[in-house]
Every structure is written in C-alpha cells, then in structure tokens.
Structure 1
Amino acid sequence: MLRIYDKLKPNRQKIVYETAEQQYNEQNNVIELPTNNEVEIHGAVSAGTGEYLLDGKTELVPYDGEVPPHDFALVVNGDSMLPLFEDKQIIFVNKTKDVRSGQIVIADYDQQAYVKKLVKDENGCRLVSLNKQYKDLPINEEHETSIFGVVVL
C-alpha cells in the first residue's frame, strides 16, 4: 500500500492522509472540537424590518465553528427568522441569482436587505419570515426586488 501512496502527487497524498486520519478518529471515537476562526463580515442583513447592505466596509470577527465554503458572510439583525437564525448570528452566503422556492435568500427589497425564505406557490411569489409575527413581503411590480444569494449556513 505504501508503494501506491509514494507514487501519488503531493496533493493526492494529502487527501489520502486526511481520509486515513478521519477514519482513525472515527474508529477511536475522537471528537474534534470547533476551531477558532476569523470571518470577514460584509455587513448586516435584517431579519425584521430591513436595512442597507454592503456599505463597503468589512470587519474581521472571531467565529467558533467550522466555516463552510461561501462568497460572503453577514450578521443577522432581528428575530424574524427564529428559530433558524438568531439575532447577531453570523450566516454564510453564496452569490447567485438562480434560486428555488423554499431556499433561504438574501434579498434586496425596496433598497433594504433581508434574510428571508423565498416562497413561490399558487398565492404568488414572496419573501417569508419564519417568525409568524412578521408579514410576508410580496414580490410583484409594486416592489423592487433582487436576490444577492442563498444562505448556506
């Protein structure tokens, strides 16, 4: 087995090593604790009444946990997406305009940024809060709406 490993290029050797290490840890019930990371925050997004997004200033903040692949990170302000997202939680977003009904999105709605669930059904298209204390935001010709991306975590 070592002969095959030695014939691999370094990047493939690294994959073999990491896979073997993961298997070893699982076998021995080793639990990896979250690492302390830093995340570059690109502003805040409202889980409530809306706010301006991407003012050009970024901030490096500590983050305990695994950072998923993402295009940008934001801080949630408000409680309209409880229980999924809490006030001041960091969320990670992939930039895309290709979204499906049911996905959690970052949307510009009448020049205000929101984190909401996109719903498209027989009642039309709208941005929905998970906290039922907040009204849906209808997507129609009366409102300027665009999508920044989809929340990945």
Structure 2
Amino acid sequence: MSSLGNKKIMSQNISRLMKSKGVTRNKMSDDLAISYTTLTDWIKGNTYPRIDKIEMMSNYFGVPKSTLIESESSLNISDKVNAILANLSITRQKKVLAYSEHQYQLQNSQPRLFKRPKQDIELYGAVSAGTGEYLSDEYRETISYDGIVPDHDYAVIVNGDSMLPLFEDKQIIFVKKRTDIRSGQIVIANYDQQAYVKKFVSDDSGARFVSLNKKYDDMPINANHETSIFGVVVL
C-alpha cells in the first residue's frame, strides 16, 4: 500500500474514532498533549503519525493499533466489536456481555455441522440452580464432552432452572478455583452447606447471591448464613 493510502486510511480512522468517542480536535490535542496543527495534519492525511503516537492514540480510544492502521473493511469482527465496546458506558457493556454469553450458550446447544472430537473431563458433582446440592472433591466422574473446554480447575453439572437463560438444567459448566471475587461474577458458592451456582452481587443494599431467573428469591450473605466461595464460572 502506498504512503498516500496509509495516510488516507489513518485520517479516516482517526475521524471515525473521534466521532465515536465524541471528542473535538481541541479536546483530543489537549488530552494527548499534541499540537492542534499536528492532529489536523493527521486528520487531513497530510502527515502520518509515528508509531509511538499511534500507540498513544490506540490507548486513548481503547482499541488495538490495527483499528487505526487498517481500513475499516479489513478489520475482523472482533476488532470492530472491541472498538465499539470500548466507548460504551459500563451499564451498556454489561448488557453486551449478558447478550454475548446467552448467544454463546445457544451456539453450544445447537447441532453442529462439524462436530468437535470428544474430550474426557472430570465432573465433580452437581451444583444447584434451584434448591441446593452437595459438592465434594471426593466425588469424581470422567465423562466425554464434545463442546469447548476452557482453562478450568473442575467441571460441574447444573441442576435446576434458576440461572436461565444463561445456564440450562443439566448443563455442564467449568470453574476456576478462586476466593477473591467481584460483584457481577457467576460463582460456585457454599450456602448453608449446600452448593449453588449464582451471581454474586455486592452494592449499597448488601451482599447476596442472585438468580437470573426472577422467580427465585435472592440469598442474603450475612451472619445468619454459612457462606464460602468454591470458584468462578468460566463457561
């Protein structure tokens, strides 16, 4: 590609990202400590920024450097999604995450034209999406699994419907052992000596385990209940 072509693509990408982020030339030049004239030359395609300036802009917009360097039509879908996601509010990012997780589960539940080879995984019992289960390291069962197997410490099977639409009854889910968790994560938890899969929420109303299926009540975390975390679900 010619130098002129590079300048044109760069100028188009900078203009597009500025519009997406809602910033003016004055604000961007102030934020990045570059001159208004220099930024204008980039936007008009008169000059091409050095690599350190490209990296600075990629950090500023929260996108990969390829989003600035390559034409929009050549970017893959994940680059485009990441560019949009970086400029959404946290509330809207959470909505995108929930929708993506749901689509991922639907994809895994549908028949595939090309089946993946089955893998043996160790199942450590069941966790409740309903009324409670008993989970123990002593119980292990090896089964064949033909879905995507992420990096995990153990797998469990879901019993019940309290985590619909994210997890279905009898679905296998994968877990990383962890005790340090943050609000909004899906966790495997001990609650009064029974194992549950729930969403952990901590806010001004207090800490609690929440079901995605709203017909189930929240489970408060307080001195009246014995609670601990077995791990975080990694799908």
After TM superposition, give the deviation of residue 34 of structure 1 in Å: 2.3
Structure number having the greater strand percentage: 1
Runs of 4+ that moved beyond 3 A: none
Q: Within the alignment, does 1:77 sit opposite 2:164 as a pair? A: no
Q: Of the candidates 56, 76, 81, which is equivalent to residue 138 of structure 2?
A: 56
Unaligned runs of at least 5 residues, structure 2: 1-112
Alpha-carbon distance in structure 2 between the residues aligned to 1:42 and 1:149: 13
Alpha-carbon distance in structure 2 between the residues aligned to 1:32 and 1:69: 22
After TM superposition, give the deviation of residue 65 of structure 1 in Å: 1.4
- Say if 1:36 and 1:65, in contact at 8 Å, map to a contact too: yes
| Post-superposition CA distance 1:81-129 (Å, at most 9, x none) | 0000011111000001000000000000000100000000111000000
Q: Within the alignment, does 1:88 sit opposite 2:170 as a pair? A: yes
The structure with the larger Rg is 2
Deviates more, 1:67-76 or 1:55-64: 55-64
Which residue type is aligned with residue 99 of structure 1?
Answer: I
Q: Secondary structure at the match of 2:176?
A: strand
Residue aligning to 1:100: 182
How many correspondences in the alignment? 123
Alpha-carbon distance in structure 1 between the residues aligned to 2:147 and 2:188: 22
- Say if 1:35 and 1:66, in contact at 8 Å, map to a contact too: no
| Root mean square deviation, CA, Å | 1.3
Which runs of structure 2 are paired with 1:3-152 in the superposition (5 Å)? Answer: 33-54=115-136, 56-152=138-234
| Post-superposition CA distance 1:43-92 (Å, at most 9, x none) | 10001111111161211111111211100100000000000001111100
Alpha-carbon distance in structure 1 between the residues aligned to 2:157 and 2:216: 19
Which residue type is aligned with residue 222 of structure 2?
Answer: N
Normalised to the residue count of structure 2, the TM-score between the two structures is: 0.51
Unaligned runs of at least 5 residues, structure 1: 1-30
Structure number having the greater helix percentage: 2
Identity of aligned residues (%): 68
